[in-house]
Structure formats: structure tokens, C-alpha cells
Amino acid sequence: MDKKIKENLQSMFERWAYEKVRSFEPLPAHGSDRQYFRIKSKTKTAIGAYNPDMKENIAFLSFSKHFKSLRLNVPEIYSQELDKNIYLEEDLGDTTLFSFLSERRAKEGFSEDVIRLYRKVVEYLPRFQIEANSGLDYSVCYPRASFDRQSMHWDLNYFKYYFLKLAKIPFDEQHLENDFQVFIDFLLSADRDYFLYRDFQSRNIMIVNGEPYFIDYQGGRKGALQYDLASLLFDAKADIPSKVRQELLEHYLDTLEKYIPVDRKKFMQYYYGYVFVRIMQALGAYGFRGFYERKEHFLQSVPYAIQNLEWLLHNADLPIDLPALTAVWEALVRSSFLRQLGDAHLRLTVRIQSFSYKRGIPVDEKGHGGGFVFDCRMLPNPGRFKKYKNSTGNDDDVIRFFANDPDVERFLYHVYDLLDMMITNYQKRNFTDIMVAFGCTGGQHRSVYCANRLAEHLKFKYDVDIQLRHRELEMKG
């Protein structure tokens, strides 16, 4: 700790508090050159901040005063001495949304208490974006007054040079640059006349008496509504389940409509583009801090970001063609090395389905090309008997038919053995998807029964997500 910084902060605190300093505690450093200290006297406490970047200080202090005037939940600024690069702000405690989430998830998963807090956060977001947009002094923004072409290019190059290069992901420089231009042109066509918080994520949201308070908005500027929502919902280590993400997205849009008219189709046209660019910006930061500066804890977020990228590739459609960039995203998703960085434990999904060979083997829509297809046609076929014609592998009479046959049990024993080996291996390597398909002649009896039995086995033995479907039965309705 620099002795002069401590002396300056102590003097400023004592002038503000009218009390002598009793404790001066450095707080954990994050991904910047800013230094924070918890300073206490007999009856008062404050956070002392030192930041050598004068322009960043001016932006933070100006934004804080504006937000506070609108009664937004941000820290109050008690005192500032810009010539010394220091200021005092309200002490909001130590509980971030991320730490609250982590503690609760360890005990009860992604609980309703956590979801309730996230709902409050997304309700607050339009107040920053729209209410605070009016009257805010954008001349103090640093380093840019808007999330414009230059800002986007900086983020994409950050991703290219500090993540792709250092993670040794191959790419064609010119082709990738061409795609960057197309991608930026698309993002710039969105409405960008709102306040963009820039780093709206769970570590920058404090929880005080059950309410969210917001910090670290010094990088704010004008931009699109979609960016901050993407930052929150695809925050890597927060690892928000996709179903909860969708619920929070809808809740945000419902709240947004109280402030401005919303064309949801148009909003969604740009939303996933901003999710992609935010994930790339985050990966660039993880690469710079982790690979380049050797701060390994930053690399712990990489597997979660790769998981989010994988979800996007299978669920988000962009209205533009980005062949080189898509190839890079796919290479990242395929990387076993990146999935195993840090101590991440990604959740595995096992997709199980039954099918009829008459209609062909199911296509792996996730694109991994892995997993198993088991041929059940060697097993006894209840479909040959009239009394089972209208039954399926879901029905008690068919279940009893198979339960009494040793060949079926022997077949399933070997299936379980293979899947046990694969799941154990995939979980160690942080893979997130396995497809298993069972086929028979009609996709009605044998394949349905075997798919159901495997699902039961895995639910009993492993902490994995099971997606079970019966293709032919769904077709019948």
C-alpha cells in the first residue's frame, strides 16, 4: 500500500467524519488499477477509493451524483479530491449479487430468492437506461461517449488478440476482419440513444437489506438497450439457467414497456447480436488478465462463457452471414482445453430419444456428432402381438412384457455401462451435451421402453439434466 495514498484518504475521511480513523482495511483488487479501502472511525464508515485515471474518476463521480439525484440505488459520494485522485463513497457492505447467488446455489440451487433479486435488478435497468439518460452529461464519458464503431472494434480486437491468439485458436485474419465489419454494421443499425451501463453484471450489484445497489458504471456511455441486459443474463460465472434467463428477459421487456413503446420482434433481432459481442468482450478481458497477466482466477470464468457461446450457437439466429466468425465460435466450443480451465463444473445435459428406423436416424441438432445410437430391433417385439398393437413403451402392459425378458436386461446393462463411462468422463472434461437415441422398427415399443429406462437410471445415479422425447409418439400426437 502506498503510504501517501493512505495518508491522503485518512485525512479526507477525518475531515468528513469529524472523527479519528480507527481502522483502514484494503479491499480485494479486481480487474483494474483502482484501489479500495474500508475506513472506519468510532461511528462512521466509508469506502476510500484511489484511481490514477483522472478521466475515469470524473465520469464515475459525475454519473454518481446524477443517479443519486434521481433516487437510484448508487453509493453516495461523501467527499472528493480529484487533484489527489481520491474520493470517499458510501459503504454498501460486502455482499454482491454474485456472492449471494453463490451462497444460495450451494444450498438450494438457483432458488426463488435469487430469481426474485434478479427480477428487481431487471426492473431497475430501464431506470438507468431511460430515466437517467435525460440530463446526463455525456461529455464526461471515457473513453468514448457512445458504444460506437470504434468501441466495438476495440472490443473485437481485444477478443482476437488477447483471447483467440493466446488460446491458440486458428483464424484467417482478413476473413475475420471482414466479418467484424459486417457484424459492427449490423449492431450499429440498432437504436442506440440510451444510457449503456457497460458492465452491468452480478459482481457490480451490491445487496443491501434485500435491495440491489449499483456500482462500477464509470465506463457508461450511450448505446443500445440490449447490451446491458446481455451483460446481466449471460454473465459467465453466474451461470443462469436458460429457462430463468428467458423469464428475466420477458420480465425486462414487460418493465421496459412502462417507459417506452417496445417492438419485441425488433428488439430480439438485435438482442443476440449484442449477447455475442458482450461474450467476446468478456473473453478478451479473461484472456488479457488470465493468459497475459497470469491472474489465473480470471480463467475460471472461461468454461462458463464457452457454455454460453455453445447455447447461442444452437438457439440464436443472426440475420447476417458471418462464416469466419462462426467458425471461430465453433472452434471455441469444441476446445476441451478451454472447458477445463479453472475449477468450473458445468452442468451436463443428456438428450435421450426413441425413433423409428423407417423415418431415419435422428439428426444431432447440436452439431457435436457424438453420443450413441442403439439398435433395439434385436429385442423381443411386442408389436407382433395383437394385444400390444395400440400400446407403447410407456404403458404398463408393455413394461411388464419387457421386464420379464433377460435379453432386455442384458442389453440395458451394457447400455448403462457405456453411458456411465461416458458421463463420468464428460463431467470431468466439462462437456455439456450427450445425445443417446434408441431405434426400433416402429419407434413405439422397444425404443420407447429403453429410452425411459435409461432416463430413470441416469436420474437416480447422476446430477445431470435429462431431456427425454419420443419422436414417433410425438408425431402421432
Cβ neighbours for 64, distance < 8 A, ≥ 6 positions apart = 74, 75, 76, 77, 89
Q: What is the pLDDT of residue 366?
A: 62
Cα–Cα distance measured from residue 381 to residue 344, given in angstroms and rounded to the nearest whole number:
45
Amino acid (one-letter) located at 318: L
Q: Is the dihedral of CA 53, 54, 60, 63 positive or negative?
A: negative
Domain positions in the chain are 3-89, 97-337, 349-476
**What is the mean pLDDT for each group of 10 consecutive residues in the chain (477 residues)?**
92 97 90 89 97 96 98 98 97 97 89 96 98 97 96 97 95 97 98 97 96 97 98 95 95 98 96 98 95 88 94 93 97 91 83 95 71 95 92 96 93 96 90 92 96 96 93 87
Place of cell 466468425: 325
Residue 326: all three cell numbers together: 462462426
Q: What pairs with residue 435 in β-bridges?
A: 351
Alpha-carbon distance of 352 to 372, in angstroms, equals: 10
Taking the C-alpha atoms of residue 338 and residue 302, their distance in angstroms, rounded to an integer, is 7
- Helix (H) or strand (E) holding 90, with range, is none
pLDDT of residue 367: 59
Q: DSSP characters for 346-386?
A: PPPEEEEEEEEGGG-PPP-TTS---SEEEE-TTS--GGGSG
Whether the CB-CB separation of 471 and 359 falls below 8 Å is answered with yes
Domain 97-337, what architecture? Answer: Alpha-Beta Complex (3.90)
DSSP string, 144-181: -SBS-HHHHHHHHHHHIIIIITTTT----HHHHHHHHH
Could you tell me the pTM of the whole model? 0.82
Q: Note the pLDDT of residue 56.
A: 96
Q: State the pLDDT at residue 209.
A: 96
Measured distance CA(227)–CA(338) in Å, rounded:
25
DSSP state of 276: H
Cell 443474463, located at residue: 233
Say how many C-beta atoms besides its own lie within 10 A of residue 394's C-beta.
15
- Does domain 3-89 correspond to CATH entry 3.30.200? yes
